[in-house]
Amino acid sequence: MPSGILARRMMWGNWTTVNEFVLVSFSALSSELQALLSLLFLTIYIITLMGNVLIILVTTTDSALQSPMYFFLRNLSFLEIGFNLVIVPKMLGTLIIQDTTISFLGCATQMYFFFFFGAAECCLLATMAYDRYVAICDPLRYPVIMGHRACAQLAAASWFSGFPVATVQTTWIFSFPFCGPNKVNHFFCDSPPVIALVCADTSLFELEALTATVLFILFPFLLILGSYVRILSTIFRMPSAEGKRKAFSTCSSHLLVVSLFYSTAILTYFRPRSNTSPENKKLLSLSYTVVTPMLNPIIYSLRNSEVKAALKRVIHRTLGPQKL
């Protein structure tokens, strides 16, 4: 048994039942700075919900946005809304009303859905890259390969991928004994700060967690990378500049979203622990849990002429009669 775990057992004696955890969140900051952060995060939260709901509404109701690309975009918006609902309300509670406690079951539930939505989003982003690969590299067979049934199956597989990793990781973590300190040094119940409170040997779990991280973060990223190598190779071989511009414009938004999401996720979960302080990890986590879900609908709206045109049509249909 590792000496650190043995020392903690001797310090705390018999294991105690932990009924709740305390989220340290941003308690080290001054009350004035916490108030500013709460206002900033509340604004981002509202923009995120409104932006993703608008994307869902537009891609559902507008007849021009019924292609597979927008079907997957609609699924991404649903995931982003779920991801935000899991993390941000509790974080705002710790900042606004200083409600830093979270029950044992609440912490497990938050972690479960964090894993679920995170793994599902990784796989969905890989699916979206495959869709762009087929559209650009094999356009003649695109309607056949990416038919309605195939798209539904790919989307369902992306969503389902979140269940095994969330179930195994969360069940395993919360089957460990917690013997005393219950302060989670984060703004939500993420795996590393919670597992740090365990009074048992977690080496086998950490090996499994690394394997799951490779499968559900790194492997989809490599699939995306491979898809875009083929996509860019095809684009550069196109004879006309206009053809290159149109082809690149169809995947530039997705490429930007992938870059934002994966750059912070990989920095968070693949850097050695000794090189990442808890405060730096909180900042990195804010990027993919709070900022990226807000930017996604903005990126797809501003960089996609079809979405912008559809938004104008929706606004015209909504406000037009009132102007008459």
From residue 167, alpha-carbon distances to 115, 161, 164, 215 in Å are: 9, 11, 5, 15
CATH domain 28-304 topology: Rhopdopsin 7-helix transmembrane proteins (1.20.1070)
Across-strand partners of 103? Answer: 20
Prediction pTM value: 0.86
Q: How many CA atoms lie within 13 A of 214 on its CB side?
A: 6
CA separation for the pair 246, 160 (Å, rounded): 33
What is the sign, positive or negative, of the torsion defined by CA atoms of 69, 70, 74, 80?
positive
- Residue 192 corresponds to which tokens in the numbers above? 């590393």
What string of pLDDT tens digits covers the 324 residues of the chain?
A: 444 444 444 444 444 567 889 999 888 888 889 899 999 999 999 999 999 998 999 889 888 888 999 999 999 999 999 999 999 999 999 988 888 899 999 999 999 999 999 999 999 999 999 999 999 999 899 999 999 999 999 999 999 999 999 999 999 999 999 887 889 998 999 988 999 899 888 899 988 888 888 888 888 989 999 999 999 898 888 888 887 888 787 788 888 888 888 887 777 766 655 556 677 778 888 888 888 888 888 887 766 777 878 878 877 777 765 543
CA-nearest of 267, 263, 253, 260 to 308 is 253
CA separation for the pair 138, 134 (Å, rounded): 5
CA separation for the pair 222, 217 (Å, rounded): 9
